[in-house]
Amino acid sequence: MSHLRPEVRSRALELIALYPERRSALIPICHLAQEQDGWLRPEAMEEIAELVGVTPAEVRGTATFYDMLHTEEVGTYLVSVCTNIACLLGGALELLEHAEETLGVRAGGTTEDGAITLEEAECLADCDRVPCVQVNHRYVGGQTPESFDRLVADLRAGRLTDTVPSHGTLVRVRRSVGLQADRQEVARQRAAMAGAQAARAAERERQKAAAGEGGAGSASGGGQG
């Protein structure tokens, strides 16, 4: 029994078809799973693993690297308050403190009604409107404590559902076409390239042999594990 709904699963298969290697679709499909469930459920990660051909642990290991992929439940609205340098200079820490007090949760927590998860974010690239706030990754402009309270009231009353879909829905515009470039032509180019690469590799081997043992000393000194 598939955890992902048939429509979501078929969208996942469409995504996989866009990439030369199926694992590339891992993160985009994680977004789709979050669109369905609001967060990344273990069942979803197992199914994604099967879809892209890796183990569930590899899906979890990848997902936990990324701030936007949530392996624990998230509120309907993820409110992200940036406190990085430009926002800091515009009073972001004070705004975050206000948000924590009025919502009754610390950054990282979710309100009891499950409506709002508050998050302290790194720079969201909207630094001329500070302090920058996003709700479910939609910009809502620079906020003051007063406007923040109105924003929360609007979210709770469902007045922003048109502009801010519930958490997990990232891209509402679907790709309209599959890949079109001539695959045979691409294959021909790839073959030519593989030939060139083999030639280069052979050349490197030849040079290496000519120069004797290369040694392992790398310029960056990062190979000591």
User: Residues in the site for another protein, rule: CB under 8 A?
Assistant: 18-21, 23-28, 30-31, 52, 54, 61-63, 65-69, 80, 83-86, 88-89, 122-128, 130, 134, 136-139, 170-177, 179-182, 185-186, 189-190, 192-193, 196-197, 200, 218-223
Distance between CA 6 and CA 111 in Å, rounded? 32
Distance between CA 31 and CA 172 in Å, rounded? 12
- Cβ 106 to another protein shortest distance, Å: 16
- Cβ 16 to another protein shortest distance, Å: 10
Q: Which is nearer to another protein, 113 or 220 (CB)?
A: 220
Which residues lie below 8 Å from residue 192, measured CB to CB, with a gap of 6+?
A: none
Q: Which is nearer to another protein, 104 or 214 (CB)?
A: 214
CA 139 from centroid of its chain's CA atoms: 16
Q: Which region, left, alpha or beta, applies to residue 33 given φ > 0 means left and ψ of -120 to 50 means alpha?
A: alpha
- Cβ 189 to another protein shortest distance, Å: 6
Cβ(98)–Cβ(145) below 8 Å: yes
Distance between CA 110 and CA 73 in Å, rounded? 9
- Cβ 94 to another protein shortest distance, Å: 11
CA 54 from centroid of its chain's CA atoms: 18
- Cβ 213 to another protein shortest distance, Å: 17
Q: Which is nearer to another protein, 112 or 199 (CB)?
A: 199
Q: Which is nearer to another protein, 61 or 114 (CB)?
A: 61
Q: Which is nearer to another protein, 61 or 104 (CB)?
A: 61
- Cβ 112 to another protein shortest distance, Å: 26
Cβ(180)–Cβ(89) below 8 Å: no
Amino acid occupying residue 13: L
- Residue 119: what are its φ and ψ, rounded to 5°? -135, 135
Q: Which is nearer to another protein, 113 or 176 (CB)?
A: 176
